[in-house]
Structures are given as C-alpha cells and as structure tokens.
C-alpha cells in the first residue's frame, strides 16, 4: 500500500480504472455525485460502517479478500484515526502496539522488542 495514498485517491483510481466518469459511476450506482466528489477529494471522511464500505467496494469491482479489498478498508480506518481491525484481531500484535506507538513517538525501545513486533506484524 502506498503510504501517501488516501482513501479518496484510491477510490478515484478504482473508479477511473472502470472507465467511468464521476457522473456515470454515480448514476449507475444511485450515488450522490457531490458526496462522491467530496469523498474522492478528501473533503469528506470515508464511511466507517462495513456495510457501506462493502457496498462501495462492490460498485468499484474490488473483490472480497483481495489486496485491494484490505487496502480499501485499511485506508478508511486509518483516515478515521482507527487501527485496522485485522491488527486488533491478533492478540499478540494488539498487545505489541504500545511498543510501536512509543517507537513512532521517538522513544527508545530495545532492539529485541522491535524485532519481535516486526515478526508479529508480518504474521498478522
């Protein structure tokens, strides 16, 4: 996943890959073009409900369980300041998140703890 990619940019890329203009896409899926435009431009937060995200993913042709599926959901959660659910479901990873947060804030942690966290995240 491109670290700089936003939910709206990802949404727009997927819509454009369908060769649909904003108005075509919205008309075919009975969506408000103003809201989708704001969503794509990052002026509106992504929906957080799984039902709405799944509906949008279906409209965009994103297959359930694909890398794009997880990217779509993760970007929505991240933009809302939430931790992606997949990380929270793994108890070892969830328990190690404080180590990650300390590291991101620039606090020192042991090399051993950092290596353990990296391994846990890779397995998640």
pLDDT tens digit string along 52-65? Answer: 999 999 999 999 98
Q: Are 69 and 75 in contact (CB under 8 A)?
A: no
Q: How far is CA 71 from CA 6, 7, 57, in A?
A: 10, 9, 11
- How far apart are alpha carbons 41 and 45 in whole angstroms? 10
- How far apart are alpha carbons 52 and 29 in whole angstroms? 13
How many other β-carbons are positioned within 10 Å of the β-carbon of residue 123? 9
CATH class of segment(s) 7-82: mainly alpha
Domain boundaries, the chain: 7-82, 87-123
The band of 94, judged by pLDDT with boundaries at 50, 70 and 90, is: low
pLDDT at position 66 = 92
pLDDT at position 81 = 76
């Amino acid at each position: 996943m491109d670290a700089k990619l936003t939910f709206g940019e990802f949404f727009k890329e997927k819509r454009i890959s369908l060769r649909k203009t904003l108005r075509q896409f919205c008309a075919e899926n009975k969506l408000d073009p103003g809201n989708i435009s704001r969503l794509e431009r990052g002026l509106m937060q992504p929906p957080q409900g799984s039902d709405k995200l799944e509906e949008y993913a279906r409209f965009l042709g994103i297959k359930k369980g694909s890398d794009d599926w997880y990217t779509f959901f993760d970007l929505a959660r991240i933009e809302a300041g939430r931790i992606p659910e997949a990380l929270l479901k793994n108890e070892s990873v969830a328990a190690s998140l404080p180590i990650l947060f300390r590291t991101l804030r620039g606090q020192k942690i042991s090399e051993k703890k950092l290596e353990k966290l990296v391994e846990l995240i890779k397995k998640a």
